[in-house]
Amino acid sequence: MQPTSSRQLRARTFHSMGTVVSLTVASGTSAQTAVDELESAVDVVGSIFAELDLTFSLYREGSEASRVARGEITLPNASESMQESYAEAAEWRVATDGAFTPDRPDGILDLSGIVKAQAMREAALTLAALGLHDWCLNAGGDVVVSGSPGAGQPWLAGIVDPLERQALLGAYPLGPGSKLGLRALATSGSAERGDHIWALGSGRPEFVQVTVAARDIVTADVLATAIVAGGTRMLDRAVDIWGVEVLAVRKENTLLATPGFRSPA
């Protein structure tokens, strides 16, 4: 997508939570002002991700999440941030009939399935507070946007083909310029990280990858994971209750798409 002649797209990236995070801002201000605004925004967004990663990463031996997992801290005695994150995850477990859960089969509390989306949500609120209106935040393929890249057009979020990682299944329009006006998109599955999502009941997940477009990033992220775990039944439930759009890829590389993904423009 090309911006209009009076607007420029500028992007910065950083690494956090085991993935690459990028912030793209569309600006019509002077070049130096736009760069300064972007640098300041990236600093703030990066600090949000870094702080949550320090708290919730199970790969960091000294993180609070690791200490909870080892039984050194009980959840009632954990930080307010830990308790609030768990409470939201627990609410989603009830809402999805257990398809999304913060508890691993081995009993370890693992909030990684929701923390990245929570970081993106907090970053979105911060960017708005900074006065930025037209931007796209991408964290490992999960995307939340505001405004437009130019001329009222939507932002386009690419969806990777799970069976050919260098190719795209397509690009989904997000933001006010799109027909549905959805602002967030998240993808979950086994193609990149292996079988880290457990199917409800017995057997293996029906879908190798699920992409969900929603009005907010936490809903998109949680439901993408829940549909991988819960299969077609959870997909139907998600569409009926939350009004999301879904693109699901089965193991034989057949696609199951709701109307918004069949004609998203």
Residue spans of the domains in the chain: they are 8-262
pLDDT of residue 122: 98
What is the pLDDT, as a whole number, of residue 199? 57
Question: What integer pLDDT is reported at residue 3 of this predicted model?
Answer: 43
* CA distances to 58, 163, 221, 225, 248 from 251, in Å: 29, 9, 21, 16, 10
User: Which among 121, 82, 137 is positioned nearest to 219, based on CA atoms?
Assistant: 121
Three-class DSSP labels, 16-36: ECCEEEEEEEEECCCHHHHHH
| Per-residue model confidence (pLDDT) at position 258 | 96
Question: What is the three-state SS of the chain?
Answer: CCCCCCCEEEEEEEEECCEEEEEEEEECCCHHHHHHHHHHHHHHHHHHHHHHHHHHCCCCCCCHHHHHHCCCCCHHHCCHHHHHHHHHHHHHHHHCCCCCCCECCCCCECCHHHHHHHHHHHHHHHHHHCCCCCEEEEECCEEEEECCCCCCCCEEEEEEECCEEEEEEEEEEECCCCCCCCCEEEEEECCCCCCCCCCCCCCCCCEEEEEEEECCHHHHHHHHHHHHHHHHHHHHHHHHHHCCEEEEEECCCCEEECHHHHCCC
Other beta carbons less than 10 A from residue 46's beta carbon: 18
CATH number for the domain running over 8-262: 3.10.520.10
Q: How many CB atoms lie within 10 A of CB 206?
A: 20
Query: Which distant-in-sequence residues (6+ apart) come within 8 Å of 147 by Cβ?
Result: 26, 133, 134, 135, 175, 176
Nearest-angstrom CA–CA distance, 26 and 156: 14
pLDDT score of 42: 97
Residues of the chain with pLDDT under 70: 1-6, 29, 190-203, 264-265
Work out the angle at residue 75's Cα, subtended by the Cα atoms of residues 99 and 106, and round it to the nearest 5 degrees: 45
